[in-house]
Amino acid sequence: MFQKILIANRGEIACRVIRTARRLGIATVAVFSEADAQALHVREADEAHPIGPAPAAQSYLRGDAILEVARRTGAQAIHPGYGFLSENADFADACAAAGIAFIGPGPAAIRAMGSKAESKRLMVAAGVPTVPGYHGAAQEEALLAAEAARIGFPVLIKASAGGGGKGMRPVLTAEAFAEELEGARREARSAFGDDRVLLEKYLQRPRHVEVQVFGDAQGRVVHLHTRDCSVQRRHQKVLEEAPAPGLPEALRERLHEAAIAAARAVGYVNAGTVEFIVEGDEAYFLEMNTRLQVEHPVTEAVTGLDLVEWQLRIAAGQAIPTAWPPPARGHAVEVRLYAEDPAQNFQPSAGRLDRLILPETARVDAGVAEGDAVTAFYDPMIAKIVGTGADRDAALAALEGALRRTAVDGPKTNLVFLRRLVAHPALRGAELDTGFIAAHAADLLGPPEPAPPAALARAAAPPAPGPSVWERRDSWRLQGEAERVALLDDAGVERRITLHASPRGTRFDDGTIPPGGIGTDAVLEGGTLWLLPALDPYRPAGDEASKESRLSAPIPGRVVRLLVTVGDAVKKGQLLAVLEAMKTEIRIAAPRDGVIEHLGCAEGDSIEEGTEVATLKA
Ligand code: ADP
């Protein structure tokens, strides 16, 4: 086994690999970009080394810089995680040339499965069913249009080099084909630098079912059961479960066999996933991901295995145990908690996690902690939360409870959406297909429910009084009545609660007695955690105005120029400060006319994201 490994990744997957390595007594080396100097994976690893500026192309995608750290630190193997270099055959080659084990399949298997068109040709030859389509090299528009007509509309245009749902466009009619083709090519060119496309029959509401596989260097390939990942937004997964519910036994068997055949066809070693779309009794090969998947924890939950441990064992030359596959026991469901805005088509959101409360009743894989920031540079996932149980209902109930005990204050998140999703009768009924979110959007989207009065009361009430009147903070008087107003931030909505304190105690406007405050902004009420931070009643009126007045650093950086001092009158658009961050200059200008009331930094300071640069008053 290895004594020291390097993790060429960040966030939750880096933290997750570090955890397993530590349990196995393996030392860990983290790498980090300039934006991640304080990140959780850096704090958790035994040692950590910088590899470049924030943009991934200049850091986490720099195979040479990462290999250099591996050589310098004596790491014997590199775990690529998912994304970044995990499916980069050239990087796997470079690792081999440097005598460092790449924890994943061989470069040839990565190459063969790397192109959607190429992998589909391979699968046809191996007898694995694929969606009817066109995967040819010829790309003339007239030929593609003729192929689309042969396949029959609706068809799906996909980028050959695609991933993450980019460059994917359904075309419903022949008339729309030319325009959609142009759009798909444009997207593919900018995302992958390659505008080749393939065509597929567009299945209207299929299920996404995948099979976890493992191969060893001795030539054995086994499956580790199915997962269903049909619940997707923008063709990307948000909820995954194992095993895939409600599959006829014969179909399940066929999927296992097809997945093993696919892996064998490329001499697959280590962990991989073979993805299918399923409609009725038909299953079609979609692609093979030659790495660990984000959703692997649900497979771990039902098999009792640590898949990262087995990735390491197999990369070190061990054989798959003869008793595999272990039976799948119970059920597991994972959701991805993202910093994103469901109301804005799930657009990523960024910002500091002022509060992050994660449940203790479920497995949580997090890449950030309270106080950390979600930046615009990387995937906005905050954490994966996994519910498990003896059966699907129990797993979903556990997950629902866990999500009720989760709270985030900072960037926009999909937490409320996830709670509704997990509780939805159609999800409980396993009515799964890739159109699920669109079909139930009316139930799943929309503003959060207001906090119940009891939660507001508890958050607003002063902390339970101590024995001495001198230490009381509840406006206690010897005589008469004091009025105190508590302003609470209820998911962006301001709530005003008035308390009356008198020698007889404290009561609300309606005469009810507060329940004895707990002195915290997080209140558990009716089984749900409500985050109700107090707002400063004396802050300038209007939230927007106050936000606009305080100019803060959008990302961590250095103040290279500060052009104003306190008391200066400034005009809208006037340059106030210049930050240098990630080798680029960020110019901070006045959003409106005003006077500089306060400065939060000095020239030459290195400041964190969210630090005040200057505050304006009208
Ligand atoms: P990517 O590599 O970009 O993630 P995939 O080929 O894995 O793309 O497909 C992602 C998702 O797109 C699938 O899970 C499924 O929801 C949908 N999809 C892919 N191919 C088809 C198809 N032929 N018909 C209908 N939906 C499809």
- 161 pocket-lining for ligand 1 (C-beta < 6 Å): no
Q: Give pLDDT, residue 34.
A: 95
> Within this chain, do residues 385 and 493 fall inside the same structural domain, yes or no?
no
Q: Of 399, 427, 444, which residue constitutes the final position of a domain? A: 444
Helix H or strand E segment including 121: helix 116-125
- Give me the percent of the chain exceeding a pLDDT of 90: 72
Q: Of 479, 511, 535, which residue constitutes the final position of a domain? A: 535
Burial 443-459 (b: 16+ CB within 10 A, else e): ebeeeeeebeeebbbbb
Q: Which of 112-121, 293-302, 322-331 has the lowest mean pLDDT?
A: 112-121
Residue 109 is assigned to a structural domain of this protein: no
> Within this chain, do residues 480 and 568 fall inside the same structural domain, yes or no?
no
Between the ranges 112-116, 132-136, 181-185, 249-253, where is the mean pLDDT highest? Answer: 249-253
The total number of structural domains in the chain stands at 5
Residue 125 is assigned to a structural domain of this protein: no
Residue 570 is assigned to a structural domain of this protein: yes
CATH of the domain at 253: 3.30.470.20
Angle, CA of 527, 531 and 534, to the nearest 5°: 140
Q: Give pLDDT, residue 595.
A: 92
Which residue is it, tokens 């020291």? Answer: 4
Residue 219 is assigned to a structural domain of this protein: no
Distance 188 CA to ligand 1 centre (A): 15
Cβ count near 548 (within 10 Å)? 15
Q: From CA 57, how far away is CA 291, in angstroms rounded?
A: 20
Cα within 13 Å of Cα(564), Cβ side = 25
Residue 208 is assigned to a structural domain of this protein: no
Residue 217 is assigned to a structural domain of this protein: no
The one catalytic residue in 169, 227, 233, 291 is 291
Pocket test for ligand 1, best of 123, 277, 285 (most atoms within 8 A of CB): 277
> Within this chain, do residues 516 and 597 fall inside the same structural domain, yes or no?
no
> Within this chain, do residues 436 and 457 fall inside the same structural domain, yes or no?
no
> Within this chain, do residues 172 and 272 fall inside the same structural domain, yes or no?
no
Pocket test for ligand 1, best of 286, 289, 290, 294 (most atoms within 8 A of CB): 286
> Within this chain, do residues 294 and 355 fall inside the same structural domain, yes or no?
yes
Q: Of 390, 412, 444, which residue constitutes the final position of a domain? A: 444
> Within this chain, do residues 529 and 601 fall inside the same structural domain, yes or no?
no
**313 noted as active-site residue:** no
Question: Which atom belonging to ligand 1 lies closest to the Cα atom of 208?
Answer: 14
Q: What is the pLDDT of residues 189-224, one digit of tens each?
A: 877 888 999 999 999 889 999 999 999 999 999 999
pTM of the model: 0.85
Q: Is 545 a residue whose pLDDT tops 50?
A: no
Cα within 13 Å of Cα(336), Cβ side = 23
- 208 pocket-lining for ligand 1 (C-beta < 6 Å): yes
> Within this chain, do residues 162 and 58 fall inside the same structural domain, yes or no?
no
Q: Give pLDDT, residue 465.
A: 65
Residue 116 is assigned to a structural domain of this protein: no
CATH of the domain at 92: 3.40.50.20
> Within this chain, do residues 253 and 395 fall inside the same structural domain, yes or no?
yes
Structure token pair of residue 409: 């204050």
Q: Is 564 a residue whose pLDDT tops 90?
A: yes
CATH of the domain at 178: 3.30.1490.20
3-state SS record for 372-395 = CEECCCCCCEEEEEEEEECCHHHH
Residue 111 is assigned to a structural domain of this protein: no
Structure token pair of residue 153: 């509309």
Q: Give pLDDT, residue 541.
A: 58
Asked if 94 and 71 count as a contact pair (C-beta separation under 8 A), the reply is no
Q: Give pLDDT, residue 226.
A: 98
Between 143 and 604, the more confident residue is 143
> Within this chain, do residues 517 and 556 fall inside the same structural domain, yes or no?
no
Q: Give pLDDT, residue 486.
A: 86
Q: Stretch 174-181: mean pLDDT, rounded?
A: 95
> Within this chain, do residues 296 and 403 fall inside the same structural domain, yes or no?
yes
Q: Give pLDDT, residue 540.
A: 61
Between 588 and 246, the more confident residue is 246
> Within this chain, do residues 284 and 313 fall inside the same structural domain, yes or no?
yes
Q: Stretch 175-191: mean pLDDT, rounded?
A: 90
Q: Is 98 a residue whose pLDDT tops 60?
A: yes
Q: Is 115 a residue whose pLDDT tops 70?
A: yes
Q: From CA 268, how far away is CA 106, in angstroms rounded?
A: 7
Range of the domain at 179: 132-201
Cβ count near 293 (within 10 Å)? 21
Q: What is the pLDDT of residues 403-460, one digit of tens each?
A: 999 999 999 999 999 999 999 999 999 999 999 999 999 999 999 999 998 888 888 8
Helix axes 63-73, 89-97, angle to 10 degrees: 30
